[in-house]
Amino acid sequence: MKPKLLAVVGPTAVGKSDLALSLAQQFNGEIISGDSMQVYRHLDVGTAKVSPTERKLVPHHLIDILNVQERYGVQRFVKDCQALIPAIHDRQKLPIIAGGTGYYLKALLRGLQLGGQKSSDERIRKQLEERLSKDGAPALWHQLEQIDPVTAAKVDVHNGRRLVRALEIYLVTGSIPSAQQDQPDQYDALLIGLNCERSLLYERINRRVKLMMQQGLLAENEWLRNQGTELPALKGIGYREFSPYFAGQQNLATVVDAIQKDSRHYAKRQLTWFRNQLPVRWFNLVEHPEQLTEIEQMVQKWRKTNDV
């Protein structure tokens, strides 16, 4: 019998955290953050972490587990979840993954091999990292697009670390990353997706960024840059856009515009990815809050097929 796993996915600013918290309270669940940035301590505003008060209501995992100098990636996420999920089941609780990166979730659900052995070469990786530093992430992305457009469509053009890894796999193995075969589903998973009309979604994203500024996003970025100049966390949306500001090249208004734009583009990519890669059941709680009842009934029926 496959262990049950509930996931709440979708673009930013549609209420995923609120829904996950509500479902966890109703169905005796524990929440696993699927966000690759929420693992970092002190980065609270830009990553839109749930509040300490909300975390006291329901156990949350994979939040505030690393210092900003440390790296976190899909292999670590899968390993962490593979330890957390059975432990949550042992406590007679329902594991709920909230938000995060679609690729992370697919890797967990489908048991993707993530390169496996003989797909790493330190010399090649170093050469790619040197090129990344010299030419920038977009140059690597365009190379990846020519080699493997399927993988390139899934990777943020500014995500240098994932671009280096994808190109490393190709250069070491001679196989394109997207050729990796999915394994049978590892879990009895129910994926609930949240979305709303696009112009409304973009309006919500823009408002959220402005609220983050009011909540101290600038101060958070000042603190982060005092920790180092080559930190993995500096690649995230809400942090990378501040570099021109601290270099004296842009004002804060321009930075805010850039964060809003990057967030909107990321939301669009998230939706495209989930619709093409995973069997998500979509709902619009922003415009139709009454759909919450339908979601709750769906989860209840799914749980009864084999109780946790």
Identify the CATH number of the domain in which residue 156 sits: 1.10.20.140
The pLDDT score that the predictor gives to residue 283 is 98
Dist. CA 128–CA 190, nearest whole Å: 38
The pLDDT score that the predictor gives to residue 23 is 98
Domain edge (last residue) among 131, 151, 179: 179
The pLDDT score that the predictor gives to residue 65 is 97
Are 194 and 268 in a shared domain?
yes
Residues of each annotated binding site for ATP: 10-17
In a domain, 103, yes or no: yes
The pLDDT score that the predictor gives to residue 89 is 96
Element counts in the chain: helices (H) and strands (E): 13, 6
The rounded Cα 262 to chain-centroid distance in angstroms is: 14
Are 189 and 175 in a shared domain?
no
Are 103 and 150 in a shared domain?
no
In a domain, 117, yes or no: no
Low-confidence ranges of the chain (pLDDT < 50): 115-117, 307-308
Are 248 and 108 in a shared domain?
yes
In a domain, 236, yes or no: yes
Residues 6+ apart with CB under 8 A from 63: 33, 38, 39, 49, 50, 55
Are 210 and 241 in a shared domain?
yes
Are 66 and 204 in a shared domain?
yes
| H or E stretch at 79 | helix 74-90
Dist. CA 265–CA 18, nearest whole Å: 23
Residues of each annotated binding site for substrate: 12-17
The pLDDT score that the predictor gives to residue 21 is 97
Are 287 and 226 in a shared domain?
yes
Dist. CA 290–CA 296, nearest whole Å: 11
Are 226 and 191 in a shared domain?
yes
CATH number of the CATH domain containing 227: 3.40.50.300
The pLDDT score that the predictor gives to residue 119 is 60
Domain count, the chain: 2
> Among 129, 124, 203, which Cα is nearest to 163's?
129
Domain edge (last residue) among 179, 213, 228: 179
Are 138 and 217 in a shared domain?
no
Across the beta sheet with 60-61, the strand order is 60-61, 29-33, 94-98, 4-9, 188-194, 281-283
Are 99 and 235 in a shared domain?
yes
Q: Which structural domain, as residue segments, surrounds residue 66?
A: 4-112+182-305
Are 94 and 192 in a shared domain?
yes
Dist. CA 188–CA 255, nearest whole Å: 42
Dist. CA 234–CA 65, nearest whole Å: 17
Are 152 and 207 in a shared domain?
no
Domain edge (last residue) among 136, 157, 179: 179
For the entire predicted model, the pTM comes to: 0.79
